[in-house]
A and B are shown apart, each in its own frame.
Chain A
Amino acid sequence: MAGELVLLDFWPSPFGMRSRIALAEKGIPYEYREEDLRNKSDLLLQMNPVHKKIPVLIHNGKPVCESVIQVQYIDEVWHDKAPLIPSDPYQRAVARFWVDFVDKKIYDLGSKIWKTKGEEQANAKKEFIECLKLLEGELGDKTYFGGESLGYVDVALVPFYTWFYAYEKCGDFSIEAECPKMIAWVKRCMQKESVAKSLPEQEKVYEFVLQLKKLFGIE
């Protein structure tokens, strides 16, 4: 069942972080391979010919692409350890809905915050906070979105925390001031070893964003 597992990844990718957390939660050993996205490996291009993107999870030589699908796959294959997706069909639908929401909103809005200025950036910040507040509503009084243990939504969302410092610096605002419940949830997640060891430091991500801004000629 374990077989050979390789994760093609790029250290600041919140999508790659999702799979890292899922594998760590279940204590599954794997080989992590860092990709240089300006010089993609033949393996990456072969394993993800359609999108040529990371992360790619390769299990016994067969690729699984798209982080959300990887997390579901990992959960199904190693279902006896630390289940991430609820067993009740309705709860699964709710979890999938919110993972889809994170995918539709958080990355694009966050990107707009660091890439743009003026009105476009202001609108992105506003909508970003609104989305985090909706997520806070869904979290409610629970320890994690998954209840007492990490779940699908937790794994899908928490990696974006590593980009919050960059968003705050570029957008000149405080996410914690607007969404304290969200940050409290993040801190609870970060106390888990599987999360802490899978995520890079926010300062490092910010340095990376500054490099990107230089590269793209963004002020």
Chain B
Amino acid sequence: MAVVKLFGAWFSPYAYRVIWALKLKGIPYEYIEEDLRNKSPLLLQYNPIHKKVPVLVHDGKPICESTVILQYIDEIWPQNPLLPADPYDRAATLFWIKFADDKGYLMSKLYQTDGEEQQAAVKEWLEMLEVMEEHALIGGKKFFGGEEINMVDMAFSFVAYWLGVIEDVVGLEIFEPHKFPLVSLWIQNFKSIPVIKENLPDADKMFALLKHGREMMLASKSD
């Protein structure tokens, strides 16, 4: 039986994408928690270029970058597909995955800054949410994947869950549900899916971690 290992970090939305994909497809795996301040030699060996999580190791062969990992998983285990079969639909789906991936930096930009820099981050968040509302969820779809979630839903998970924790940490409300009704509905639907609901990092623990990180950052700035 082939062995699947996943190197992740408990708070990483990128690691969770892989967890959801593996669980949706019913693939057994061994999870290895990495302390990102003290990376294991094994992680550095499997991902020498970026030294990041998640890393999937299948039959001893490492695959890095969550979007690359998810495409690999979808190809090896085609049940409960994460991408459409039609080339055009797949291209459209990959477009939104890239869009979401390219906006991931907005998480740290929001909680690791203050003043003007943070204001700029808020503006970028709102612009992204507007694009999601106007262009991504067209046709009144329940999920980006239609009736079932797909890789795009997973890619936007940072909006559905992680943003809320960051808002609490910085004390700002960026996502006002009445301004983004389609995205708001999507968030509720997404978080009610069992595999998602049962596999999310503890919000209080994450709050504590990010709050601490923010306080350290602000303290070092005032030095």
Interface, chain A (partner B; CB < 8 A): 49-50, 59, 62, 64-66, 68-70, 72-73, 76-77, 89-90, 92-93, 96-97, 100-101, 134
Contact = CB atoms under 8 A, between A and B. Distances in A.
A50 B135 contact: yes
Interface stretch (B30-38, B94-102, B188-196): B94-102
B124 to A, nearest CB: 14
A167 to B, nearest CB: 22
B133 interface: no
Given A93-B63, A93-B68, A134-B49, A69 B76 contact: no
Contacts of B120: none
Contacts of A49: 135
Contacts of B65: 96-97, 100
A66 B98 contact: yes
B130 to A, nearest CB: 10
B71 interface: yes
B131 interface: yes
Contacts of A59: 88
- Interface of chain A: mostly helix, strand, loop or mixed: helix
Contacts of B68: 93, 96-97, 100
A77 B98 contact: no
Given A97-B63, A101-B49, A50 B94 contact: no
B88 A92 contact: no
Contacts of B115: none
Interface residues of B, number: 24
Given A50-B135, A134-B49, A72 B72 contact: no
Interface string B91-121: 1101100110000000000000000000000
A81 to B, nearest CB: 15
A69 B101 CA distance: 14
B95 A69 contact: yes
| Residue among B68, B87, B91 facing the most chain A CB atoms (10 A cut-off) | B91
A59 B91 CA distance: 12
26 contacts: A59-B88, A62-B88, A64-B91, A66-B95, A68-B98, A69-B95, A70-B91, A72-B94, A73-B88, A76-B87, A89-B75, A89-B76, A90-B58, A90-B61, A92-B71, A92-B72, A92-B75, A93-B68, A93-B69, A93-B72, A96-B67, A97-B64, A97-B68, A100-B67, A100-B68, A101-B49
B49 A72 contact: no
B23 interface: no
10 A-B pairs with the lowest CB-CB distances in the bound complex, closest first: A76-B87, A93-B72, A89-B75, A73-B91, A96-B68, A93-B63, A64-B91, A69-B94, A69-B91, A97-B68
Interface string B19-40: 0000000000000000000000
Nearest to A138: B49
